[in-house]
Amino acid sequence: MLSLIRALSDWGIRSPAVAWGAFLACAFAFVFGTAGWYGRFFDEVQAPLWAYPFIPDCPLAALLFGVAVLLMHLGRRSNLLNQLAAVFCVKYGVWTMTFWALYWAITGDVELSSLFSGPVMFVTHFGLTIMGLLLLQYVQPHVRDSALVLAWFVLSDIVDYAPIAVGRLGGYGYYPPLPWINGDPAALVPAMMVNAVMMTWLVGGGLLLRAAVWRAAKVRPTIA
């Protein structure tokens, strides 16, 4: 089964129609998701320019995936980008599905009225998670790359949840806008913070551990 998945993935990367189609679809998802979900958010929280790269997490995950696939198709593979995009997709795909599952469990409000409704976002972010898992097939063990990726997501968690956003309800940072629950805009933020930090260390930390073990095994002297 795994060999079949890898074979299909390799075929998709080699195919111009699939590779370019994936890139264009992901670029559209980035623009649509950033404008639709985060459009007014930057002004509402008065986010500084330095925080912008850490705010549209899921749209940026899709864009990075599209760029990674296109570069592999063009023969310009970047292990660092592949790893960054893979962790982005898995972390924030799981994060979003977890939020909606908790939201439905508390409110029972499983409405389907727009493209940003919970069920639609759950399904699309399930797809985002699958995209990340597929891209993980192409991530090679590399300590420096894994350390840089882990550092990015640790910093992202700090930007999202540290008390640095002046006037943000709940005292948290630049986490994504979330639907209110019983009049509380930050009701699920503590749980989502735990989820974000856990995913950073589970996926990003796990890849760094794998790379460290691989390097240790590679340089270990052979005993005659």
Q: For 105-131, what is the mean pLDDT?
A: 92
pLDDT for 169 equals: 80
User: How far apart are the C-alpha atoms of 94 and 115, rounded to whole Å?
Assistant: 19
Give the 3-state secondary structure of 14-66.
Answer: HCHHHHHHHHHHHHHHHHHHHHHHHCCHHHHCCCCHHHHHHCCHHHHHHHHHH
- Flag whether pLDDT at 80 surpasses 50: yes
- Flag whether pLDDT at 53 surpasses 70: yes
Q: Which among 141, 149, 160, 153 is positioned nearest to 200, based on CA atoms?
A: 153
The 10s digit of each residue's pLDDT in 191-200 is 999 999 999 9
Q: How confident is the model at residue 224 (pLDDT cuts 50, 70, 90)?
A: very low
- Flag whether pLDDT at 189 surpasses 90: yes
Q: For 11-39, what is the mean pLDDT?
A: 96
- Flag whether pLDDT at 183 surpasses 90: no
Please give the mean pLDDT across all residues of the chain. Answer: 93
pLDDT for 171 equals: 85
Answer yes or no: are the C-beta atoms of 146 and 83 closer than 8 Å. Answer: yes
- Burial level of 17, CB count in 10 A (0-12/13-18/19+)? exposed
The structure tokens listed for 210 are 């794998």
Q: How confident is the model at residue 140 (pLDDT cuts 50, 70, 90)?
A: very high
Q: For 43-49, what is the mean pLDDT?
A: 87
- Burial level of 7, CB count in 10 A (0-12/13-18/19+)? exposed
User: How far apart are the C-alpha atoms of 31 and 203, rounded to whole Å?
Assistant: 26
DSSP 201: I
State residue 111 phi and psi, 5-degree precision: -95, 155
171: left (phi over 0), alpha (psi -120 to 50) or beta: left
Percent of the chain predicted with pLDDT > 70? 98
- Flag whether pLDDT at 103 surpasses 90: yes
pLDDT for 219 equals: 72
- Flag whether pLDDT at 222 surpasses 80: no
